[in-house]
Each structure stands twice: as C-alpha cells, then as structure tokens.
C-alpha cells in the first residue's frame, strides 16, 4: 500500500523517493504498536495514517522543496509533521519539542528505531524552551500541526523563528480565517506578512491550509509569557 505514497504525493506537488517508503512503513507500525499504551493518535487505520498524517505532513514540500537549515517542530506529539519531513528529506536537521513526557519518550524511540540522524527531542513547554539562548530565534523554519488556535500558536512558535525565517502552521479549511483573527498577535510578535497554501488531501480526505508566516523583526523579549498564559489569554 505504501508504494502508492509516491504517486499520491506527486499529485499534491510533492516529490517523494521510493527508497524512503520502507521507513514510512516502519514508522506506521511503530506508531500503531506504541499507540496501544500511549494514546498518541485517534487515527489508527493504516491508509488513514498514510494520508491524514504522513501526506498531510509532507504538504510543506509543495511550497518549496526540502527546508534548508535546522527545523523545529513545536508540539510534535506523535511526530507530525517533523518525522515525515525528516524521512522525505534525510539531510534535514530536526528538533522536536513536546511538553508531555509520554510523547517525548515516543519521539525519542521513533528517532532511534528509524535511525534518524541529526534529530533531537526536547521534553519542555514551548514557553520555557523559547527563553533558552540556544533555541530563541535559532530556527529558519518552525512548524506546528494541530496544536492550538493560531492566536495562541504564534506566541508559542514565533520566538523560535530567526528573523527572515518562517513559521508554518498546518491548519484545516478555516486556516485563513484564523490568520485574519491573529493579525494583531502576528504584528506584535514580529510578523507582518503571511502566505496561504490551500490543498486537498488525496481520496477526498479533506481540505487543509498551510499558513506561512514570515518573521520580519525580532520578537520582543517579554514573549512568550509564562507557561499557560498564551492559551488562557491569547494576544
């Protein structure tokens, strides 16, 4: 079944090598195995995993190919979109951040079992990690998928983005409406412009939106606020 990924990805504008398909198969098997105890995903049918998790994660590649430089995946959860992007782009330097211990443990296990080089897992809250010199404004590309409303997400993610870099938010069909509501927060945090990529998942599995936010200015030092505030009181 997973051999079909190459053609399905091509139809989405994504180039995918047949050589990486075994890694996707191993990743899916590991996800299903560990999901029994860790409750990592509600999507458990193999074809649904391939389309709704893996191909959806790869949609970013249609916007310009493999990202250049280190990439941070905030709230990585079961590894999406970070691990599919890493599998498709083996040279990618990937850091995955998640606040939940069981998810961080799974990410470490997946990186080990799939032998993903140049891959790091951080078990921290985004609000705390963004205060560390090693990570603040250190990434040309930061991604996040299905984590929080955009007006919360920008405060969690833009502090990690280098000036001139991009924050990419994976959203559903209402993504552009979220972007409009989050404009004041974007401006406050250093982003004046964004692009929208709307795409359809294969086999009529739904419409999705990528929001590509370009960071023009440094994020003020007071952001992100202390843990929990971005969600409780969005900008």
Cis peptide before 81 (omega within 30 of 0): yes
Classify residue 6 by burial, with Cβ atoms within 10 Å: 0-12, 13-18, 19+.
middle
Tokens of 15: 């180039």
SS3 call for 180: helix
**Parallel/antiparallel/unpaired status of strands 71-74 and 119-123:** unpaired
Would you give the DSSP letter of residue 77?
T
Specify the pTM.
Answer: 0.96
8 Å CB contact between 16 and 60: no
> Which two three-digit tokens encode residue 144?
């996040």
DSSP structure class, residue 17: -
If one counts every other C-beta atom within 10 angstroms of the C-beta of residue 104, the result is 19
CB-based contacts of 50, cutoff 8 Å, min separation 6: 1, 2, 4, 5, 8, 24, 28
- What CATH number did the domain enclosing 60 receive? 3.40.50.150
Cβ atoms within 10 Å, residue 39? 11
> Per residue in 181-195, pLDDT tens?
999 999 999 999 999
Separation of alpha carbons 1 and 46, rounded Å: 9
Per DSSP, the residues of 135-155 read TTT-EEEEEEESSS-HHHHHH
The whole domain housing 20 covers 4-232
pLDDT at 88 over 80: yes
How many domains is the chain partitioned into structurally? Answer: 1
Where residue 224 falls among pLDDT bands split at 50, 70, 90? very high
* Cα–Cα dist 33/1, whole Å: 19
5-56: pLDDT as tens digits: 999 999 999 999 999 999 999 999 999 999 998 889 999 999 999 999 999 9
Q: Which helix (H) or strand (E) holds 46?
A: helix 46-48
How far is C-alpha 125 from the geometric centre of its chain's CA atoms? 15
**Across all residues in the chain, what is the average pLDDT?**
95
């Amino acid at each position: 079944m997973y051999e079909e990924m190459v053609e399905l990805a091509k139809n989405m504008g994504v180039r995918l090598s047949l050589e990486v398909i075994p890694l996707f198969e191993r990743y899916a098997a590991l996800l299903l195995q560990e999901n029994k105890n860790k409750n990592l995903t509600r999507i458990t049918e193999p074809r649904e995993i391939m389309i709704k998790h893996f191909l959806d994660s790869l949609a970013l590649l249609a916007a310009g190919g493999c990202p250049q430089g280190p990439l941070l995946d905030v709230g990585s959860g079961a590894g999406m979109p970070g691990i599919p992007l890493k599998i498709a782009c083996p040279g990618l330097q990937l850091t995955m951040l998640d606040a939940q211990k069981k998810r961080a443990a799974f990410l470490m296990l997946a990186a080990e079992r799939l032998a993903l080089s140049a891959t790091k897992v951080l078990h921290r809250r985004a609000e705390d990690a963004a205060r560390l010199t090693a990570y603040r404004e250190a990434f040309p590309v930061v991604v996040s998928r299905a984590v929080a409303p955009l007006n919360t997400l920008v405060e969690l993610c833009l502090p990690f983005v280098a000036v001139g870099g991009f924050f990419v938010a994976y959203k559903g069909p209402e993504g552009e409406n979220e972007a409009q509501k989050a404009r004041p927060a974007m401006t406050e945090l250093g982003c004046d412009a964004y692009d929208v990529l709307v795409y359809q998942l294969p086999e009529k599995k739904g419409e999705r939106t990528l929001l590509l936010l370009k960071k023009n200015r440094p994020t003020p030092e007071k952001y992100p606020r202390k843990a929990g505030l971005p969600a409780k009181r969005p900008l």
